[in-house]
Structure 1
């Protein structure tokens, strides 16, 4: 693999719709905290936090601790984010190389790399997904719509049909997955499983079929019994 393939694209590379919306509110109203940015975009705070960190990583935004003229409030200061000018965000990013290093570490040092990756995906899927309102019943159709929106929000191009198969046309980690399927693909399956659990969806993700075509993976779902109204205390 050549050196150019180990660095990320320029900061001007296209952003997804959700991340672009977060960047626009930073440019218009920043600096903002996570909650203010979530209110202005209509996205869940956990999703906004993910996009804000991504914008910081790509050099399009910067993060700083809030300062108060009166000496500060008790406790940890919250983080504020602001968009940066184009000339401030220049420079090479090598997060693909970092991803390859960490993925190879999991694959080469853990007894069960696929199991560890799946569990990590489940935890992060629950953290990043938007839960329904208390006692809200989520049907299979709504669950599929929520799942595809969740996946698209983190960089996939996902499409779901009545056959309970989610078609992942674009994988944002494709270059890494091609070399370390035993880590990246189970991670993706775990993300879907965790997101469905957080949504209290009557669906389960049974398996992920990677690269059925060069740019297509399939997530196979199945119906389950109705989810409980709320998670156990």
Structure 2
């Protein structure tokens, strides 16, 4: 195999999660102290809460609490709903934490892959997909000591690994084809701006991981951002080719 296609293997191979980058980042510090406190207040609440509830629990003025809640809603970290009322009067606006509030990011891993893309930019054989394949091979446990894997075993291992990276995969089987419904992209903020690069890396990761798992399954395609929070990877049995 051409070394330009193998990326971080052999002598310079990065072991993601060991000697190399972690598969996922620690909780994001992007929120200020007050906004983080407001978000944590909403997350701890057993049901949706109003501005006055948050203000009382965080010892903030209601206008300050409302400001932070609306900013969190704009960032899709909380969702706003209107309280149903059976009596006259202005209904309250209620806030509840969204799944995005706790969804992980993996920008350290992405930064390492993008650095490898940049360092290989003068190589006409290197693309985001080929670089992604190299990294995909590093983020799965080598299968040689476990004997031959079945299609189900390979898909199950792939699901576990990509769940750790942060994609929140859900497996749907249709005959010899498996669809991985990826409910969250840990690189979404960058992927929406540079889809060819980031989604190319992602497709390559899928292909490389399955190759490392014995090649019993292959990643046929990746449909990125089918909705703002869903990508679909299609995997099929290699025997069905």
- The DSSP-based 3-state class of the residue aligned with 2:160 is helix
Residues in 2 aligned to 1:157 and 1:113: alpha-carbon distance in whole angstroms: 34
- For normalisation by structure 2, the TM-score amounts to 0.49
The answer to whether the 8 A contact 1:169-1:216 is kept is yes
1:161 — aligned with what?
Answer: 172
Residues in 1 aligned to 2:137 and 2:155: alpha-carbon distance in whole angstroms: 16
- For normalisation by structure 1, the TM-score amounts to 0.51
The answer to whether the 8 A contact 1:139-1:201 is kept is no
1:72 — aligned with what?
Answer: none
Report whether the alignment pairs 1:126 with 2:137.
yes
How far did residue 112 of structure 1 move?
Answer: 9.6
2:36 — aligned with what?
Answer: none
Q: Which protein shows a greater Rg?
A: 2
Residues in 2 aligned to 1:45 and 1:112: alpha-carbon distance in whole angstroms: 24
How far did residue 151 of structure 1 move?
Answer: 0.4
How far did residue 115 of structure 1 move?
Answer: 6.1
Unaligned runs of 5+ in 1: 1-43, 59-94, 227-233
Report whether the alignment pairs 1:213 with 2:224.
no
Unaligned runs of 5+ in 2: 1-14, 30-105
1:137 — aligned with what?
Answer: 148
**RMSD in angstroms over aligned alpha carbons?**
4.0
Residues in 1 aligned to 2:145 and 2:235: alpha-carbon distance in whole angstroms: 24
1:33 — aligned with what?
Answer: none
How far did residue 47 of structure 1 move?
Answer: 5.6
